[in-house]
């Protein structure tokens, strides 16, 4: 088994999902997730995509994100709203609470550490 793993939508089937109904603020957002790596100890990596809508988010985990396409607004409770688009990278730390609003279908690469 190679120690090199390409992050690609062509290597795995996507999982369909959506935010929990009680977290949705507007729209009918739908998710597709291509989880290409999952390791013991709570490490995940892959590609995630969401259609337009707005929902509440609460992070217990650490996540690195790199936006590949689309436009979203991430607003932290009590903080500022940040617009992210293709080329932007950021980290959401444990304890982050706020909203994620997809204005244009957004696709990101992610690495999550529980």
Question: What confidence score (pLDDT) does residue 48 get?
Answer: 98
Mean predicted confidence (pLDDT) in 74-86: 97
Cβ(76)–Cβ(45) under 8 Å?
no
Domain covering 15-113, topology:
Jelly Rolls (2.60.120)
Task: Grade residue 18 by pLDDT with cuts at 50, 70 and 90.
Answer: very high
How far does CA 88 lie from the centroid of its chain? 13
What is the distance between the alpha carbons of residues 85 and 65, in angstroms, rounded to a whole number? 11
pLDDT, tens digit, 9 for 90 and up, residues 39-61: 999 999 999 999 999 999 999 99
Calculate the dihedral angle through the C-alpha atoms of 70, 36, 91, 76, rounding to the nearest 10 degrees: 60
Q: Retrieve residue 53's tokens.
A: 């809508």
The model's pTM: 0.95
């Amino acid at each position: 088994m190679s120690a090199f793993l390409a992050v690609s939508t062509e290597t795995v089937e996507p999982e369909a999902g959506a935010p929990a109904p009680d977290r949705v603020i507007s729209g009918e957002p739908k998710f597709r997730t291509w989880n290409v790596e999952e390791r013991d100890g709570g490490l995940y990596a892959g590609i995630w995509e969401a259609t337009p809508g707005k929902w509440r988010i609460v992070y217990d985990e650490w996540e690195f994100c790199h936006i590949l396409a689309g436009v979203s607004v991430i607003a932290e409770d009590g903080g500022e709203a940040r617009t992210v688009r293709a080329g932007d990278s950021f980290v959401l730390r444990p304890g982050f609470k706020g909203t994620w609003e997809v204005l244009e279908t957004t696709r990101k690469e992610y690495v999550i550490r529980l």
